[in-house]
Structures are given as C-alpha cells and as structure tokens.
Chains A and B, each alone.
Chain A
Amino acid sequence: MTTQDAEHATVADVAPDLVGAQMIGLEEHDGEFTVESRTQWQLIRRRFFRHRLAMVSLTVLVAMVILAYVGLPLWKYPYNMSGTLENGGRPTLDLIPWLDGDGLMLGEHPFGQDTIGRDYFAVTLRGAQQSLVIATVAGLLATAIGTILGALSGFYRGVTDTLIMRFVDVMFTIPLLLVAAVLGRRFGSSSIFILAVIIALASWLTTSRIIRAEFMSLREKEYVEAARALGASNKRIIWRHIMPNAIGSIVVTATLLISAAILVETALSFLGLGVGGSDWSLGKQVSTYQTAFTTRPWLFWWPGIFIVTIALCINFIGDGLRDAFDPKQTRVRQ
C-alpha cells in the first residue's frame, strides 16, 4: 500500500493539473490557497466518512455489535435460563414515555419472555451474536472464493477461464438457496461455522463474475503492460498492480454478500436447516415463533427488527463504500 501511496503522491506533486480536481484538496493557509495532495486512499476515506447515511449505519451497526457482545455477558439473565412468566411475558421496555407516563425504562424483561420464561432480550442478543458470526464468516469466505476464482479466470483467460466459467454457468442453473438446503441437510446444524461455509459455498458465483470482468479490463491497462515489460512476474502483477485497483469492487461485493448471508441464514432456519440444538440465531427465533404472532407478537417482532436493521445498515455501508470508491455512481447530489 505504501508504494501505491507514494506513486500517487508523486503524480499529484509533479503534475497537479493532469490529475484533476478530484485528487487535490484546496485548503486555506495563511490567507493563501495552497494545494495539498491527497493519496487515493485518503480521498476514498474522506468520501466514505462524508457519506452521512453510511456513517449513521456504521454507528448503528457498531452499537449493535457492542450490545450483542458486551451487553449479553453484562445482562442479568443468561440466554438459556428459563424462569417464571411475569405478566404473561410481556415486554417491559418503554420507549414512548408520553403514552403511559412511566418514563423511559428498561424494566425487568425489556423484550419480554418466551413461552418457558427465558428472558427474550438475552435470547435476542445471543441470536444476534450467532447471526453476525455466520454472516461475516460466510460473506468473507464467499468473497475469498469468488475473488480467487474470478481473478484466476480473468487474468489467465484461456483454458482456466473456460473451465471456471463453465462451472459457474452450471452452478447458476441451480437455485443457490437449494444447494445450501441440500448441503445443510447433509452437514449442517452441528456448528455455526459449518453453516457459514455452506452459505458461502452457495453464494460466491456473482462475485466471481464481477471480479473476472474487473480483472479482464484491468489486465489490458498500460501500467500492467509496463510492469510486464519491466519483467514483473504474474504474481507481482496480480498483487501489486491489479488487486489494489480491483479492491473497490471486492469490498463492495463483500458487504453485500454479508447482508445477503443474514437473509440466507434466516431462510435456511425457516426450512429447518439452520442453527441446531438449543442455541439461537435471529433467523431461528423468527421461524420458531412465527405461529406465536397472534398471542406473543414480541417474540416475532424483536428478532425481525434486528435482522432488518443489521441487513439495512450493512447495505447502506456498502452503498457508501461504492460511492467512495466510484464517485461517478454517487446517489446523493454533490
């Protein structure tokens, strides 16, 4: 990364008007305008941190992760302890103080209790922990598989490309959820990591196509030709020259895969192929309590709201990253 930073800094220093206004920040110093060069990474970071929606989403997401991992151990009830039902297990959380005048309060069981008296706040946090792990592992693994296969295919072309892409074509004819269901039926429900691997195996296809297209266009660029003329090996060209330029697409697809993985996990849970045993995930909570909707709606609402919030935040972050890496596609008026 340092070499790349250096490269860009030099270009901007030597020929500022060639680089374009985007690369240069104008700042006021002692009543005079001086030109401060920014590296590409600084520019991307700046654009991302200025994306308001993405920042809000990032804050919310970080807060939820902290709540799940720090909040659960600190909370007075463990997630697997059953107890006596109080007030029919109704939630005691009061977020709208002006309705009944009790003021903002958490109460004994903020999200209520489930049918056998477990504290549902603890259960939901446990579910969120598991879902976050599954989604992150699945999303990153799928990105890794898709990137490696897409990169090989786009860089080497020829037989490698044909073999990999025909395989992707074949996989595309099978609905992915169903591959996951079949694999989950065989290997699943013993550990959340196996579940994550199954989800990853079923969701890398689109990524590989995107990365392949990216590599195919990047490998024809002049700087790749120059590097090759200087005698750079394929490995060096891929890692030093192409990868840094493809990182935008990779990061954006990774975030989208993570948010998709949460939904796939939910769907698998609904089909009875999700997290097994007495453990929880958000998807398992929703599918377990879907019939309780009329009698105990909170058992259905809370995990659902968590799923939607997490997925929505990740999608918005992905959108902010896309804007940061590729300002041409910006959604908000400049």
Chain B
Amino acid sequence: MFFFILRRMLVAIPILLASSFLMFFLVTISGDPLADLRQSQNPNVDQLIAARRQRLNLDQGFFERYIDWLSGIIRGDFGQNREGQDVSALLGDAMTTTFRLVILATLLSIVIGIVVGIVTAVRQYSIIDYSSTFAAFLFFSLPVFWVAVLLKEFGAIKFNDFLEAPGLSPAGIAILSIIPAILAFGLTPGARRRRLFAGAVTGLVFLVGLVIIDATDWMLNPGLSPLVVTLVSLAVGVGAAALFAPLENRRVVAAGVVTALVGVVGSLAFSSWIEDPTWTQLLLLFVLSLVTGAVVGSVIGGVIDRRAAVSTGMWATIGVGLVVVFDQFISAWEPDRTIATIGPQTPNLTGPFWVRMIDYAGHQILPSLALALIGFATFMRFTRASMLETLKSDYVRTAKAKGLPATQVIMRHAFRTALIPVMTVITISVATIIEGAVITERVFAWQGMGSLFIDGLNDVDPYPVMGFLLVTSIVLIFMNAVADILYAYIDPRIRR
C-alpha cells in the first residue's frame, strides 16, 4: 500500500510540470501586460514601463521566464503582481476564502447527493425517484450565476424581509405540510395502505407543528425548549438504531434511546461550555460524547449485538450533538438580515461564539448552496445508476436470501461496491465546482481566488493567474491521487 501511494505521488510530478508549462504558455499569449501603459499620457511613462518590464521579467524569452517562475515556485516564491505585491501573500488569503466555499459545497453535495441517490435507487419508480431525477436534470441545465443571482434575491433579500414580520398563510402551511407527507408516502416500504398512513401521520405532525410555530411567533424568538430537545434526541436515537439493526432488536434500540438521554443530560451538565465555547472545548465535547456513545452501546449491546449497538450509540450522540448545536444556532439568531449577500463575513464582528458562527453561516449558506446544486445533480445520478446496478447483482440477492436486515444489505453490501464509480465522478467534479466557485464568488462579492484570477486576466497580470491555475491543478491532481488510493482501499484488486 505504501509503495502504491508513493508511486501514485511520483506520477503526479511530470503531469504537474507539463500542465504548468502549458498554462504558462496560455497565460503568456493571453495579451500584452504593458497595453495600458502604452496608451498612458503619464509624463514618466517610460520609467513605469521599464519598472514593470523588470518586475514581470518581460525582457527575457518565454523559456527563461518559465524557468525563472518555476525555480521561484520551488523556493516558495510565486512572483509579484503588476503593482509589486507578493502573489504568495495574496494567494494565501484568497485560498482560505475560496476553499471554505469549495469544501463546504463539495461536502454538502456529496452527502445530499449520495443519500438521495441511494434512496431513489432503493425506491425506484416512486414519486421521490421521478421528482429528484427531474430536479437533477433541472440543476444540470441551470447556469450557475443565474441561480446565484436568484438565490441572492429570494434566499437573502426576500427571506430577510419575511423574517422581519414572519407569518404563514393557510396556503403556505398547507403546502409545507403536504410536501413532507408526499415524501413519507414515497419513502415508506410496504403496502399502499401502510404508506398512505405514514404520509397522513407525517402531514398531520407538520401541520400541527407549523400552526403552533405560527401562533406562538416562534420565528421571532426561535429556540428549542429542553422538552423539544429531549423528544427530538429520542427520535434521533431510535433513527440511529434503525440504521444498524431492525427495530425489533430491543437491545440496539435501547442503546440508541439511552445514549440519547445521556446525551441530553450531558448537554445540560456542560451547558456553560456549550453556550460560549472555544474550538478546543467543542472538540473535547465531541470526543467525549463519541466515547460516551461507544461505552453506552457496548454496555447495553451485550455480546451478540455489541457492534451494532456501539455504532448506534456513536451515531446517536452525533445526532444529539447536532440537535444541541442547532438549538444554540437559532437561539443566537437575531432578525437583523442575517442571510447576507456580500462578502464572506461581517468585518470586525466581535461577540459570543455562536453569534460569530451564525454570522459565518449566514454569509456562507447561499454561495455554498448555489455551488452545491451542480455537484448534487451529478452525484445523485451516478449514485443512483451505480446502486441500481449493484442491487441487481447476485451477491446482494444472496445477502437478502440469507435474511440479513435490509439496511445492512443496502449499506454494507450494495453501497460499498456502488461507491467506486461515484468516487471517480466526485474527483472529476471538483474541477467543475472550482470553476463554479470563480463565478459564485463574483456574484456574492467574495475576494477569493476567483477575483484573483479574473482581475489578473483582465489586467493581463500573469503571475496571479498562474498562482491560481497552479493551486487548482495541484488540488485536482491531489484529488485524483486520493481517489486512486481510496479505490485501492475499497477494492483490493486494484492494488497491483
């Protein structure tokens, strides 16, 4: 395995060299860096031209400039832009901004895309299958910046207006209850009657919940009471158990429920930490809750069900943690136009941890969503196709025939194999997501790699453009290598 990784890394070097050479060529021919000065009326224009020639190394031939730039890169020096600023410094700032966007969008689209892909494959030809396939086709056909502008208008401006005087019309409540009812109808397995029942119950729950929310002006002063936190946590515990064992298995369900209760008690015990934590405290709490979940699971699970119970416990604590964090988030919510349209964060904001976090989130959510749509469509389609293939295979039928629980067959047997082609697509799509980020950043006025690239291109400023291209190509090559290594991990036949 080690040599496999090593070889994979060594192959990347000549590719990187070739691509950087090609990019340098493209950037060099893209225009004349002195164009603006040649037309300048400035009295000392000759000096300016000479200075820029010297700074950008324009007196040398193409190959010398490339070698110069390359040796600079090896020393960690990315050259200077036209104004003489260090590209390395500019690139560092831009990278943190852009990668925040790209990473969140990629993760969002992977998680949602794969989950929806699995669900649509398992429930082939259901309402959910047809509607999400249509949605995927629609997302494929949307220009990214058109979506971004629409999100800015409706997701931010109109939504903020709505939050200043929230109130749901009866029609709105009806629509918001019918959609989950249809979802539940499509997701529930079994006979038509059972599915209708599930749909009706879900719709009713949402209807009552929304009426209460509307009547109590909850949206003006959001937050979850301890009772609601407990109830939702219990549901999360049972749900986690359902992932790993059939619900008839009492021990595993008990593990989920007890972990959820312990989690709620723990969150009350550590409430002073949770209300204004530091990152270290948050990490400590996360580790602590994972350990608690595992311990509770292994105590309750006994010998036979230990594995399922431990997994259940750990996932249940993660779920409870998310509920608690969500509670903190919405409690910190102030109805002062939190969903932002400009920049990656409010400048010079100080305040408690969760206030800063919700500010980040409010700035981050829309650009990430705009970006995630494309990736979501791709990942969903590929996961679905690949899952359908494996679900039809002989070993899945064997696993079902042995009487293994359906979740285990889907997650362990089918999904693991189905993941291999999906991973290829994920690594290829990162390029598309970075391209999309260039545009999304522009719409939402983030000063990231996108503006570095575009401004550099418009000013014919070669080194910032090269810096951007180099970083993206390193990311892409790295992603490819990661994909290869993951294949080798999942599928031992590839480890040659």
Contact = CB atoms under 8 A, between A and B. Distances in A.
B125 interface: yes
Interface in B407-441: 428, 431-432, 434-435, 438-439
Contacts of B477: 173
A263 B469 contact: no
A185 B31 contact: yes
Interface residues of A, number: 43
Interface in A155-213: 166, 169-179, 181-183, 185-186, 206
Nearest to B149: A290
B29 A186 contact: yes
Given A170-B15, A170-B19, A329-B385, A315 B146 contact: no
Nearest to A289: B149
A166 B31 CA distance: 28
Q: SS class of chain A's interface: helix, strand, loop or mixed?
A: helix
Given A175-B435, A182-B27, A270 B442 contact: yes
A270 to B, nearest CB: 5
A105 B194 CA distance: 48
A312 B64 CA distance: 48
B168 interface: no
Given A178-B453, A286-B143, A319-B137, A172 B476 contact: yes
Given A173-B16, A183-B26, A178 B145 contact: no
B23 interface: yes
Nearest to B157: A294
A272 B455 CA distance: 11
B439 A270 contact: yes
Interface in A281-334: 283, 286-287, 290, 293-294, 300, 304, 307-308, 311-312, 315-316, 319, 329, 331, 333
A182 B26 contact: yes
B133 interface: yes
Contact of A173 (B146, B442, B454, B476): B476
Contact of B145 (A181, A182, A267, A272): A267
B245 interface: no
B91 to A, nearest CB: 15
Given A178-B469, A271-B439, A308 B30 contact: no
A120 B191 CA distance: 53
A259 interface: yes
A130 to B, nearest CB: 15
A111 B369 CA distance: 30
Contacts of A316: 137
Most buried by A among B31, B145, B146: B146
B473 A266 contact: no
B247 interface: no
A163 to B, nearest CB: 12
Contacts of B472: 174-175, 178
A173 B27 contact: no
Contact of B15 (A169, A267, A293, A308): A169
Contacts of B125: 333
Interface string B468-494: 110011001100000000000000000
B18 interface: yes
A330 B15 CA distance: 38
Nearest to A57: B137
Nearest to B475: A173
Contacts of A181: 453-454, 457
A290 B149 CA distance: 7
Contact of A293 (B31, B137, B149, B465): B149
Contacts of A333: 125
B22 interface: yes
B104 to A, nearest CB: 19
Contact of A300 (B149, B434, B443): B149
A175 B145 contact: no
Nearest to A328: B389
Contacts of B458: 185, 272
Contacts of B138: 308, 312
Contact of B434 (A175, A182, A311, A312): A175
A179 B442 CA distance: 18
Given A173-B16, A182-B27, A300-B149, A312 B457 contact: no
Nearest to A297: B153
Given A174-B19, A175-B435, A266-B143, 12 more contacts: A170-B18, A171-B19, A173-B15, A173-B16, A176-B431, A178-B435, A178-B468, A185-B31, A263-B142, A266-B146, A311-B141, A315-B140
Closest 8 CB pairs of A and B: A311-B141, A173-B473, A266-B143, A177-B435, A312-B141, A173-B19, A170-B18, A182-B26
20 contacts: A170-B19, A170-B22, A174-B473, A175-B434, A178-B468, A182-B30, A182-B457, A185-B457, A206-B428, A263-B143, A267-B143, A267-B435, A271-B439, A286-B145, A290-B145, A304-B146, A307-B141, A308-B142, A308-B146, A315-B137
